[in-house]
Amino acid sequence: MIKIAPSILTSDFSRLYEEVKQVEDAGADLLHLDIMDGHFVPNITMGPVVLRSLKKRVKLPFDVHLMIQEPWNFIKAFSDVSDILTVHVEACNNIPGILKKIKTLNIKAGLALNPNTDVSSVTDYLKDIDMVTIMTVNPGFGGQKFMTSVLPKIKKIRNIISKGELNVDVEVDGGITSKNVGQVVKNGANVIVTGAAIFNKKTTVKDALKIIRNSAK
């Protein structure tokens, strides 16, 4: 089953709840929330206070993506607003420890890889996570162009997961549109993060999400 996780990074933050409500009503499966600290990536977004306000009014599972340095220090802060909490392998000094810490808080755990990071950096931890996120843009900003060079990495990680009979979602994040989502799914992704294609203002959020979902088949 393909899951669509709209990213609010390119939404209108002046009416954030209304934007989120639109994707919820349109039938999204998850809500993708990018947390940036201005250090790990050259941008700053939001913190747990904003997520906590949304969580009170939104029923969608929160797919929280920490693009921050030293994520260990912030796991507890995001624990009550995350259904799945993803950290970057590039930002972790102690991957087994941080995954254990997330699991101890009864949250699903994910690991994310930047475009230039090899799949080998996560293979030893696949049995300990619920999702692996493959970045198809360099993280930090929404609306970037999809990097087709990452497609083989998606296929490789899916093959490893299938061979090991592991129950791990493969999420792909960055530049996904109706034109390339079919390729992404064909190569093994089952969770699709998309922002600009949903909040494009050229069509309704409901129609945009429907187009993405139909194109993923």
What distance in Å separates the CA atoms of residue 186 and residue 63, rounded to the nearest whole number? 23
Whether 173 is catalytic? yes
Active-site annotation holder among 34, 63, 130, 169: 34
What distance in Å separates the CA atoms of residue 143 and residue 75, rounded to the nearest whole number? 27
What distance in Å separates the CA atoms of residue 198 and residue 68, rounded to the nearest whole number? 25
CB distance 62 to 36 below 8 Å: no
Whether 128 is catalytic? no
What distance in Å separates the CA atoms of residue 79 and residue 64, rounded to the nearest whole number? 10
What distance in Å separates the CA atoms of residue 33 and residue 142, rounded to the nearest whole number? 12
Q: What is the DSSP string of 142-168?
A: SSPPP-GGGHHHHHHHHHHHHHTT---
Helices 16-25 & 205-215 angle (0-180, nearest 10): 50
Active-site annotation holder among 29, 37, 130, 173: 173
In 69-178, which ranges are E strands? Answer: 84-88, 108-113, 131-135, 169-173
Catalytic residue positions? 34, 173
